[in-house]
Structure 1
């Protein structure tokens, strides 16, 4: 026993690897190790040294991280959050807080997200941000005020566009499109249709156009982003709609319609349809279960202007500006469920909740 005790390592000691050994670690092996870190850990690690920071622009490292550590996130914006945003990682069923390096005290307001880019509205300009590369671009408004703005950055694209519908007297009946490739706004004059009563519903991107629902009598209008032309979709919508919202899964080129069924502006049921092959008709997919429908209707209280919908990683998200929960429909499993209120929200907040789908992307250029 005495002889063995000479070789025992004290419990308080912690052997460390020699720095010379770490220096000899092959670059490709280091990249593989770092590529498997959680997103939050990697972002914190980048600021420790120039070597780790430069990895973000290494083609070999980007090819490994593209599909490994960048999960889609649900991001919640609220006027009281300023630069801190709660995010929900559905793959881990976990809430986190995301802090963005935004200028203060200008109070940027998040209005749109697309393909790893965030679009904020400032006093006189837009702010386009990629939080992974920490790149920020400021773009002056072409007109003010405006009705709505939508950021469009298709997957695998190195450019983006911003669609803006003017509400000013000097440029009424005009749409503006910013193209990051030429860094300039284009103005398209002509009739702008009466869009949906929801000021929180963005246009949905499909086949090179942005699509919107109009007010009653409901219809679908498309705006071609290249030629700047409005065109009504020649497909009859379901009857007895109380409200209508569009959702697009542009990766698989699918368009969905979420609508309330009822009379006199009162929904008795909520259904989901998909645009049929050849864009000839709307095919009913599912109805909202009765108990969930009762809760949804009580939340809206038949005031559907606060309802907006969007696509997120196989989910159709149905949200209300005045309610902190999200109603989720999982398309693949045809199931409904509620995402409960974020635990980071104070109880006293009763409105101003704006949810976005955020898919971090290292290739998206601001």
Structure 2
């Protein structure tokens, strides 16, 4: 990345433009809320995808400990970095050499830069300022691995939409302005493939929209056949660059409405089978392996909707005993998890995680939340919490305490989410994959 920067500075000598006006000049985190970062960005431009990765600025005086605060234009970030000694000596870059860097190689390097850093790099020169409109860069960007999981939090402060994104690889909060959204978009439906879906009531009309927070592009979806507040879920197919939005029962539990599916390839909603008469245990849904799942009390088990055929089917998977509240969470490779509290009394309660055995149609316990995390997350037995997942990561958030906890199913590791953006009492949270190439069309 340093090499690419030197090349651009030579080719665009003295040409400096301000970064995209995506971010307001405000502070997302403070020193007490955000953990200190301890490792500089590597000069090779490679991306650190490890959840324990850090980001910082190079300290040019390694013999002294120094706290460096940055507030880049175009993206609102505050990172605290402390260095004890130099990891690599500074290398002098020859402009006459690096200015000749081939275009394809430059795009390949930039495509591997974490998306949030691109806004900082756009102030280098005119050429980089227009990089998000460069088809060559977007092509390379679409072919590189994902930056890694992020958490997107959305809330409204005095009717002004607010959004912060926590990068798990960088362990840093970034603030993204959502002033481009219309006032009626105040329910966060979810995110998939770099796109985020919102819904709301515009007067008496129920609407949904899809946007890309990084590019600040959005569009309202066509009206559904039935003007009712619906439970929605969005699914992105990156292979054919399309997305679908599934609308199930009425938000208040009216199951007489047919299932509707929006397909971006044909830009319209189509009607499907009405969900059979069941008593839903929760309106929370999980989408796994082209199937949509909901919990039901009567009959006991799951309702499964097959997106390919458009039909509902009941699965008699009985819930574990003494389950107080459960959330369905979709994992990778057809894995479906059930997360919930179990126990009759507050002193005996615990949080457990089960996985559905599709062959035996039974829930198999795979993990338990350690007591110290359970007590810290839910101090009161009646405390409400939210749970959602992506790529075998499960996130727990407490409504009243503003805390977040991540569980890695594969590594069996629990870790707290540092920062202050979860502390808003009305914040809505989901996993988010930042991508510039995610199209809303």
- TM-score of the superposition, structure 2-length normalised? 0.66
Provide closer, same or farther for how the CA distance between residues 279 and 322 of structure 1 changes in structure 2, counting only shifts above 3 A.
farther
Provide closer, same or farther for how the CA distance between residues 40 and 334 of structure 1 changes in structure 2, counting only shifts above 3 A.
closer
Spell out the pairing of 1:155-170 with structure 2 (5 A cutoff). Answer: 155-167=238-250
Q: CA RMSD, aligned part only? A: 3.4
Of 197, 210, 216, the match for 2:292: 210
The residue aligned with 2:352 is 271
What is the SS of the residue equivalent to 1:140? Answer: coil
Decide whether the 8 Å contact of 1:165 with 1:174 is kept in 2: yes
The residue aligned with 1:283 is 364
Provide closer, same or farther for how the CA distance between residues 26 and 111 of structure 1 changes in structure 2, counting only shifts above 3 A.
same
1:114: Cα distance to partner?
Answer: 1.1
1:105: Cα distance to partner?
Answer: 4.5
The residue aligned with 2:281 is 196
1:31: Cα distance to partner?
Answer: 1.4
1:321-354 CA deviation, whole Å, 9 max, x = no partner? 44421222121221333324x32567xx4x3222
Of 293, 307, 317, the match for 2:385: 307
Provide closer, same or farther for how the CA distance between residues 187 and 69 of structure 1 changes in structure 2, counting only shifts above 3 A.
closer
The residue aligned with 1:357 is 431
Decide whether the 8 Å contact of 1:266 with 1:302 is kept in 2: no
Decide whether the 8 Å contact of 2:354 with 2:364 is kept in 1: yes
Gaps of 5+ in 1: 1-15
Cα distance between partner residues in 2 of 1:180 and 1:266: 49
Provide closer, same or farther for how the CA distance between residues 41 and 170 of structure 1 changes in structure 2, counting only shifts above 3 A.
closer
Cα distance between partner residues in 2 of 1:338 and 1:23: 44
1:72-119 CA deviation, whole Å, 9 max, x = no partner? 211111232834311111112111212236245555442211111111
284-293 or 27-36: bigger deviation:
27-36
Decide whether the 8 Å contact of 2:111 with 2:137 is kept in 1: no
Decide whether the 8 Å contact of 1:276 with 1:282 is kept in 2: yes
1:243-287 CA deviation, whole Å, 9 max, x = no partner? 22111123x221111122224999722211112253632221112
Cα distance between partner residues in 2 of 1:107 and 1:283: 39
Decide whether the 8 Å contact of 2:404 with 2:422 is kept in 1: no
1:151: Cα distance to partner?
Answer: 0.9
Cα distance between partner residues in 2 of 1:78 and 1:107: 11
The residue aligned with 2:32 is none
What is the SS of the residue equivalent to 1:227? Answer: coil
1:36: Cα distance to partner?
Answer: 4.1
Cα distance between partner residues in 2 of 1:155 and 1:192: 34
1:240: Cα distance to partner?
Answer: 2.3
The residue aligned with 2:268 is 184
Provide closer, same or farther for how the CA distance between residues 18 and 53 of structure 1 changes in structure 2, counting only shifts above 3 A.
closer
212-221 or 123-132: bigger deviation:
212-221
Cα distance between partner residues in 1 of 2:223 and 2:396: 30
Decide whether the 8 Å contact of 1:146 with 1:164 is kept in 2: no
Cα distance between partner residues in 2 of 1:212 and 1:18: 56
Provide closer, same or farther for how the CA distance between residues 310 and 267 of structure 1 changes in structure 2, counting only shifts above 3 A.
farther
Say whether 1:28 aligns with 2:109: no
The residue aligned with 2:211 is 129
Cα distance between partner residues in 2 of 1:24 and 1:60: 18
The residue aligned with 1:5 is none
1:23-54 CA deviation, whole Å, 9 max, x = no partner? 75532233134334342232455597477535
46-55 or 85-94: bigger deviation:
46-55
